[in-house]
Homo-oligomer: A and B are copies of this chain.
Amino acid sequence: MKLPVSTEWLLHCATTLAQLDPGTTASAAQLAQYYDLPAAYLAKQLQALVRSGALAATTGPRGGFRLARPASEITLLHIVEAVDGAASPYECREIRQQGRGALSPEECRNTCVLAEKMADAHEAWRRSLAATSLADVLAALPPSAPERTRRRMAGAK
């Protein structure tokens, strides 16, 4: 069970964008330089966050990415599921309905209790990630972080 490596990238890039002055954007190249990441692949991943509604992309010579909503309304779950999708890691292939022990379709009208418990765990994971917004992340950073981030981002091309 593994999340893509780019999950870390996107969580950090979104946190960085949340620290920029309102109205400021950052390009994929700037963010790539800021974290020393492969720019083309990062750009693709940032587009996934645009599609999911967490980021907005503007075009043109000064175009780039910015948060599409207030930082308090973008949760870690939004970002993680934009990268990896919302599917549960547990796949139930209904093996209870096959082989010598096969239950009949009538006996399987209810979800298998094991699939149900695995889904409960996935929901607990989702709830935990949904409980933290980018604003919460920013609040946990040192007070000097946003100014420092803006300064160093301004220097990146």
Contacts and interface: CB of A to CB of B under 8 A. Distances in A.
A90 B36 CA distance: 19
- Oligomer: number of copies: 2
Contacts of A12: 95-96, 114
B101 A8 contact: no
The A interface is mostly helix, strand or loop, or mixed, namely: helix
A64 B74 CA distance: 52
Interface residues of A, number: 58
Most-contacted residue by chain B among A101, A107, A114, A123 (CB, 10 A): A101
A155 interface: yes
Contacts of A36: 95, 98-100, 102
Given A1-B3, A8-B92, A121-B129, A100 B152 contact: yes
